[in-house]
Homo-oligomer: A and B are copies of this chain.
Amino acid sequence: MPINREDTRWNGWGWVKAHSPVEGRDAVWRWISEALQVPELPHTPAKALDEVRLADSRLVGAARDELADGIGGANVRDSAYERAAHARGKSYLDLLYLRAGNLSDAPDAVVYPHSSDDVVRLLRWAEQHRVAVVPFAGGSSVVGGLTGSAPGFAASIALDLTEMNRFIGLDEVSLLATAEAGIYGVDFEAALAAKGFKHGHHPQSFEFSTLGGWIAARGAGQQSNRYGRAEDWFAGGEVATSKGVWSLPALPASAAGPDLRALVAGSEGALGVITSATVRVHRVPEASDYRAFLFADFASGANALRRMIQADVPVATMRLSDPDETFFYQALAKAGQVPGFKDRLQAQYLKTMGMGERPCALILGFEGERELVSYGSKAAQRILRSCGGISAGRGPAKRWYQGRFHGPYSRDPMMDRGLGVDTLETATTWSNVERLCTDVRGALLGAMQASAPVKGARGLVFAHISHSYVDGASLYFTYIFPRNLNDELGQWRAIKTAASDAIVRAGGTISHHHGVGEDHLAWLEAEKGAQGIAILRAIKRELDPAGVLNPGKLVSTMDLSRETDIK
């Protein structure tokens, strides 16, 4: 079932009624304020929707009538909540705009198609009337992939796919499932689970993201070592453009020219609209085994990860936090508590085991056939021991697993207290992981300090390896800083630029699984090359000649620094 948007925050993360793990815990805020070296955290609430002025919809008259005729009047919606909830995604920058009540990016209407043909018809209408179309599903982009503003267009609409949510079928022999692209991940898994199957793509946005969104953003779930990245499990599907519906057959492998499915994964709504997908699924695993381990330092842990994956140990997930991240979550959890006997005992044990003051935590998970999990777990433990890892038991792994979608819920309370909190992620080869990590951390710390609103204040950065490959790994950074309330946009841009420049200089990718959106567009050419960009433009011209699809994303000549003030 599609989620009722009114049950979710139009200007924040998640369910309106959700409980935040940090709300109401004064000790947490004291701890953060000390860590950032700011005297106190200000009260900076978001504007309520009824305080916000929403421009009149530009979609009126004959053009609107024609749209309503083509797609059904009930499927063209323009209530204030609909328009506000589709104005932007969930990036830090998006939240700065939304919380300030700046809805300049709100679409003139939200349109809900119910078939691929609906989408084709709508795109032809949009070309004719010069209306920008932003494909929208879960709306959980954290890189500015859904910004609705489109200078030069007569109007803009959000094309909400979430009512195209049918589970179409399952080939149990070939382990392939087909569904309409707007199905929420949760519903897709429920439909599969009822038949004994599992897709397994569970990103942190799992509660609010869709099958088509995962493909469009070329995402990766937390168990991607077992279940694959979007481009691994995306076997075929349908993509609607104004030229018709493009069908990509689900073939296990082919040498019939380049694999054009690769152009769909990562297309970010700018090349076509994914309307259905056939994806690789698995039988519900017989067994799973999640455990935590500790390392004295990050390099030892990273070495263990590399050796496990290069020895083909069949892991589902490996998540290695750096000392700062390990410490931070521990500190947040225990903030305000007086250390007890158990804590002292634990500290003593870690010291005895040579873990030092600031160990690194690893969450290691296996899923699959019982024999495979058993083999993998044993093979992993041999390598972990030889790299200096010690067991921290199943408890921390269980807590991580249960809370693995909760992280984003801490952002809104932080933003209510004058804090900025953002994440970014990249990937590089194993031999370059340390350099990239050092450089990005340095760039973030430097930019946060330089842009701090209070002299002497600083930011916090912590990182983890979130995904591992035979040839390299991804690094995921979270950073928290006191907001400069006089220039939030400039501060964001300075920090983002410093970090992105550092990534490009160090040879990392500008995004490992979040995507490009508007936020990373300026750094895309450094990675793709001038010819790569020219190819993307050529494909865009072919599939979207009028340029109505998600203008300003992925392939764009728009000046994205057009706005300098969000108020």
Contacts and interface: CB of A to CB of B under 8 A. Distances in A.
A112 to B, nearest CB: 25
A536 B257 contact: yes
Contacts of A543: 531, 535
Contacts of A2: none
Interface string A151-176: 00000000000000000000101111
A253 interface: yes
Contact of A529 (B246, B429, B473): B246
Contacts of A509: 249, 251, 253-256
A152 to B, nearest CB: 23
Interface in A324-374: 368-369, 371-372
A456 interface: no
Interface string A126-139: 00000000000000
B173 A252 contact: no
A250 B173 contact: no
Contact of A379 (B252, B257, B371): B371
B262 A512 contact: no
A175 B470 CA distance: 7
- When all copies of this chain in the complex are counted, the total is 2
A220 B253 contact: yes
A255 B467 contact: no
Contact of A528 (B239, B257, B314): B257
Given A174-B431, A528-B260, A255 B471 contact: no
Contact of A471 (B254, B263, B280, B535): B280
Contact of A511 (B256, B474, B507, B524): B256
Interface string A455-471: 00000000000010111
A427 B235 CA distance: 13
Nearest to A467: B253
Contacts of A283: 310
Contacts of A524: 256-257
Interface string A535-551: 11111011100000000
Nearest to A432: B174
A235 B372 contact: no
14 contacts: A174-B472, A176-B429, A231-B259, A251-B427, A251-B508, A251-B527, A252-B473, A256-B511, A256-B524, A256-B527, A257-B267, A263-B535, A280-B470, A371-B375
Interface of A: 171, 173-176, 217-220, 229, 231, 235, 239, 241, 243-244, 246-268, 280, 283, 306, 310-312, 314, 368-369, 371-372, 375, 379, 427-432, 467, 469-474, 507-516, 520, 524, 527-532, 534-539, 541-543, 554
